[in-house]
Amino acid sequence: MSNIRKHTLAVLVDNEAGVLSQVSRLISRKGYNIESLTVGTADNPETSRMTIEILADDDQIRLLSNQLRKLICVHSVKLLVPEESISRELLMIKVKVPDGNKRNEIIQFANIFRATIIDVSISTVTLAILGDVSKNAGFEKVISEFEVIELVRTGVISLERGINTIYDKTKEKGEFDYGKNVL
């Protein structure tokens, strides 16, 4: 149990009603908590792709992957290794600004982090930042020194580096890391 860490699963599913609920309910009834889940249409519009972040140990994540592969609506599940994949998350943060000085300070920090200003009003600035989890966390920490009144994040999306994709049918000896479990 001590090896519990955050794992990222890429899950390719049917783009149909009820699929999100099937996947999320399976994860919760097996006793796991979803840290983050994003879903959107994949390159083939008949399918959707989910990126799910879950706290688990290595054995648990393997078990869960194989449970997910049993769902008929799931085409494939791939466990993404952090070193061999890239991930991004979009954050939008609305900050209250009492005066022009504060606004300038915020804009300076935004420039350093390459965040963009997407809305301004007399009393607020809204920023957007796209980055991996650590960059976004850094920005969030800095910006929390100001009066943050609202924050929203997309959740992480991930892809493997290089030529590898979720469509690869190759399998490792002994275990299948992607593809379907028994039907």
Instruction: Supply the minimum distance, in Å, between the C-beta of residue 126 and another protein.
Output: 36
Strand partners, 116: 128
17 or 122: CB nearest another protein: 17
14 or 35: CB nearest another protein: 14
23 or 143: CB nearest another protein: 23
Per-residue interface string for the shown chain with another protein, residues 120-149, x marking contact by CB under 8 A: ------------------------------
Q: Is 62 in the site for another protein (CB under 8 A)?
A: yes
Q: Is 59 in the site for another protein (CB under 8 A)?
A: yes
63 or 128: CB nearest another protein: 63
Strand partners, 55: 6
Strand 47-56 to 157-160 pairing: unpaired
Dist CA 92 CA 128 (whole Å): 4
Dist CA 26 CA 69 (whole Å): 11
Q: Is 71 in the site for another protein (CB under 8 A)?
A: yes
Read off the amino acid at residue 30.
K
Q: Which of 15, 36, 67, 165 binds another protein (CB under 8 A)?
A: 67
Q: Is 173 in the site for another protein (CB under 8 A)?
A: yes
Dist CA 49 CA 76 (whole Å): 10
Dist CA 30 CA 13 (whole Å): 19
* Nearest CA among 120, 85, 88, 91 for reference residue 106: 120
Q: Is 29 in the site for another protein (CB under 8 A)?
A: yes
Instruction: Supply the minimum distance, in Å, between the C-beta of residue 34 and another protein.
Output: 16
CA distances from 11 to 54, 138, 169 (A): 13, 28, 14
Instruction: Supply the minimum distance, in Å, between the C-beta of residue 57 and another protein.
Output: 12
- Which secondary-structure segment (H or E) carries 109? helix 100-112
Which residues make up the interface to another protein (CB under 8 A)?
A: 18, 21-22, 25-26, 29, 59, 62-63, 66-67, 69-73, 75-76, 169, 171, 173-174, 176, 179-183
